Structure 1
Amino acid sequence: MYRTLILTLLLLPLPLTAESYLFSGGSRNVAMTIASEVLIKAYSNAGIDIEPVFLNLEESLQQSNAGITDGELARIEKISDIYQNLMQVPVSIVSVEAVAFSKKPSLLIDKWEDLRDHKVVIIKGAKFIETATEHLPVQKALSAQGAFDRLNKGLVDIVVLPKLAGWSIIHRKKYKNIRMVSASLKKMKLYHFVHKKNRHLIPVITPHLKEMEKTGEISYIRNTQLRRLSKTF
């Protein structure tokens, strides 16, 4: 009987709590900070430890698609069309919107085409902005900070990037002469993605994220982060 019991225990799958996972995302990025807090809570509810790793946006995608990290904290819905090793968890956890920033407050950007006659820089790896500007002659920086450095030095006229990331950098670097010169040019929902080797996590984490969405916990985490950010301005 004891031999049978021991054999049965040995054949049982190891619990997920025996593992931990690394999920990457963009550094100094408010949306990624929100996503990381949502996912830490959701995975904790499932008994799983995770750790966020913050890189530049393009590097994050390269590492997660290669399986060096275990997936992406948050990305646009169709990112797996390009990075085919990434698999989407079907619950939106945060959203981003693209806006234009400039040192020229008289500029008014209403639509993407308004950017054509200006020197514009975007962030490499912000795929929803890259896609929207693929018909325009834009420069690409590796980070939001790098993009703002070009703007501050007068090398470009406009930076287009996620609004919260822009606000955060303007405050942190105390750029008093840089202003937002557009309304939202595009708004996108972001989703958690896992590398295909971790596809087993999708049915594990999805119900926990759905429950957090239903109870308002995702909104609470997002709003708490935004309140913290707003107090710094």
Structure 2
Amino acid sequence: MSSLRWEKKIAFVILAFATLIVVTKPLDASEYRISTIDTDRARLLTTKAKAAYEAIGQDVSFHFQPSKRSLLEVNSGKYDAELAQVQGVEDLFPNLEMVPEPIFEVSVSAVVRKSSDITSVSWDDLQTLTFATPFIKRLVENRTGGNSGITVQSPRDIVHMVSHERVDVGIMLTIDAIEYAALDNKVIVVSKLVEKRLLYHFVHQKHRELIPALTKALREINKKGLTAGVAF
């Protein structure tokens, strides 16, 4: 009987110790920290990324900051992933690795003054025009052949600059162009798109093992449509 009591005591101690380990384990030990630009559009897109990570059994948190800082800090390893960017940022930030299934599609438009004679705008046209844009400087230079324009984060401010003749053109997401041009009767959105761009999710290279699973998860989500469930 004495031996049985000791066996029960030992079993209880082992169970208590195991419970202590579980309780004291950090709650966010397996949480992936995703960084992104601080905009309303990006906040909407987090729902899709969250669904993809949940599909592979991972928890995530989102952190919002200026675009270039976001990329720099993901590249440095401070954060685990970049929510959504265009293909090509991995050339500028070599520690980022792209998940090959797109996470979203966006279109880019030009805003001009109504009094302007500009009726269409391409990236090549911007070589000889003054313009403002929120997009990353070096990516813009690659598209225009060297002209980076003026980098301005706020689409509203860009429309104001166009309206007050500080620049010829504002280049931004179509959804932003439509929203903010509607608030200023001196400007219009050029009907022809500058381009459509696919956006991709990027992980830091230390998490490259997640890429196949995330690709599969996003592909499954995208069966409902690339922009389904994201109310831009």
Query: Which band: TM-score by shorter chain?
Result: 0.7 to 0.9
Partner of 1:43: 53
Give the 3 Å change call, closer, same or farther, for CA 59–170 of structure 1 in structure 2: farther
Partner of 2:101: 91
2:104 and 2:138 mapped to 1: Cα distance? 16
Give the 3 Å change call, closer, same or farther, for CA 17–27 of structure 1 in structure 2: closer
Partner of 2:161: 150
3-state secondary structure, aligned to 2:228: helix
Partner of 1:198: 207
1:145 and 1:55 mapped to 2: Cα distance? 18
Amino acid at match of 1:177: K
3-state secondary structure, aligned to 1:211: helix
CA contact (8 A) 2:105 2:227 kept: no
Amino acid at match of 2:97: M
1:100 and 1:39 mapped to 2: Cα distance? 29
3-state secondary structure, aligned to 1:68: coil
1:89 and 1:178 mapped to 2: Cα distance? 38
3-state secondary structure, aligned to 2:136: coil
What is the CA distance between 1:127 and its match in structure 2?
5.8
Structure 2 residue 68 is the aligned partner of structure 1 residue 58: yes
What is the CA distance between 1:218 and its match in structure 2?
4.5
Partner of 1:208: 217
**Structure 2: where are the runs of 5+ without partners?**
1-9, 16-20
What is the CA distance between 1:29 and its match in structure 2?
5.5
1:84 and 1:119 mapped to 2: Cα distance? 31
Partner of 2:175: 164
CA contact (8 A) 1:38 1:218 kept: no
3-state secondary structure, aligned to 1:164: helix
Structure 2 residue 98 is the aligned partner of structure 1 residue 69: no
Give the 3 Å change call, closer, same or farther, for CA 41–137 of structure 1 in structure 2: closer
CA contact (8 A) 1:29 1:165 kept: no
Partner of 1:120: 131
CA contact (8 A) 1:97 1:162 kept: yes
CA contact (8 A) 1:120 1:139 kept: yes
- Worse-matched range after superposition: 161-170 or 203-212: 161-170
3-state secondary structure, aligned to 2:47: helix
RMSD of aligned Cα (Å): 3.3
CA contact (8 A) 2:33 2:63 kept: yes
CA contact (8 A) 1:101 1:182 kept: no
**Structure 1: where are the runs of 5+ without partners?**
227-233
Partner of 1:230: none
Give the 3 Å change call, closer, same or farther, for CA 36–134 of structure 1 in structure 2: farther
1:12-51 equivalences under 5 Å are 18-28=29-39, 30=41, 32-51=42-61
1:143 and 1:117 mapped to 2: Cα distance? 23
How many positions carry a matched residue from both structures?
Answer: 215
Q: Report percent identity of matched pairs.
A: 25
